[in-house]
Copies of this chain bind each other. A is one copy, B any other.
Amino acid sequence: MAPLALVFDAYGTLYDVHAVVARCEEFWPGRGAELSLLWRTKQLEYTWQRSLMRRYAPFSQVTLEALQYACAGLGLPLEGYQSAALLQEYRRLAVFPEVAGALARFATRKAILSNGSPDMLDPLVKQSGLAFDAVLSVDALKLFKPAPEVYQLAVDRLGVVKEAIGFVSSNCWDALGAKAFGFRVWWINRLQAPVDALGLQPDAVVGSLDEILL
């Protein structure tokens, strides 16, 4: 069946985190790429570890703590104004070029389902000018992706059965978590990576939102 609703991941899928990387390079010349990579890796690891430990913390806190770890691990000094500026970048990320046009073409209901806590996610969506029927944060559940409860949140809030929900993410593990749950899944493979080896396949692998055909 054609989806009645499309649910989108936010960071990396609709919103480009490049500005955060650029700001890292500005603060720590020559080390920005390395720092960004370790920061992102730890940010995600902490979401999974905290979920398994049942020690949820909001994504804004996890993001800050991952930055602090990454700077310590690489021997880079981190001042309060720098961490504040980097977190602020997350609240004003650019939208990928094709996103606004693609969203306008989808006649379905549209929602965001994100790890981002409302203190990060709501300002971001607002300043971007994109319009959604719902902006859903895992913060309501105190549990991060890819736990099935997170994808169930979209079912509950949209009032649409899971078989009628299309899910779109640039994070392969997120796409596969949604697939395991029962959504129809598009993986936006922006970085030409292999499919994660988790025993599942996305329903479609595309290069951008423009390639999503309903």
Contacts and interface: CB of A to CB of B under 8 A. Distances in A.
Contact of A51 (B42, B52, B66, B199): B52
Contact of A196 (B44, B69, B180, B198): B69
Interface string A6-50: 000000000000000000000000000000000001101110111
A75 to B, nearest CB: 10
Nearest to A73: B194
A48 B73 CA distance: 22
B198 A46 contact: yes
Contact of A197 (B46, B193, B198): B46
Contacts of A66: 197
The 8 closest A-B pairs by CB, nearest first: A48-B48, A65-B197, A72-B194, A69-B197, A52-B147, A53-B180, A49-B173, A53-B146
Contacts of A72: 194
A59 to B, nearest CB: 14
Given A45-B48, A193-B73, A148 B53 contact: yes
Contact of A68 (B41, B55, B148, B197): B197
Interface of A: 41-42, 44-46, 48-55, 57, 65-66, 68-69, 72-73, 144-148, 173, 176-177, 180, 193-194, 196-200
B198 A49 contact: yes
A121 to B, nearest CB: 20
B55 A173 contact: no
Given A45-B48, A45-B173, A69-B196, 6 more contacts: A46-B197, A51-B52, A53-B147, A55-B180, A65-B198, A73-B194
24 contacts: A42-B196, A42-B197, A45-B45, A46-B198, A48-B48, A48-B49, A49-B146, A49-B177, A49-B198, A50-B198, A51-B52, A52-B52, A52-B145, A52-B146, A52-B147, A53-B177, A53-B180, A53-B198, A55-B198, A65-B197, A65-B199, A66-B197, A69-B196, A69-B197
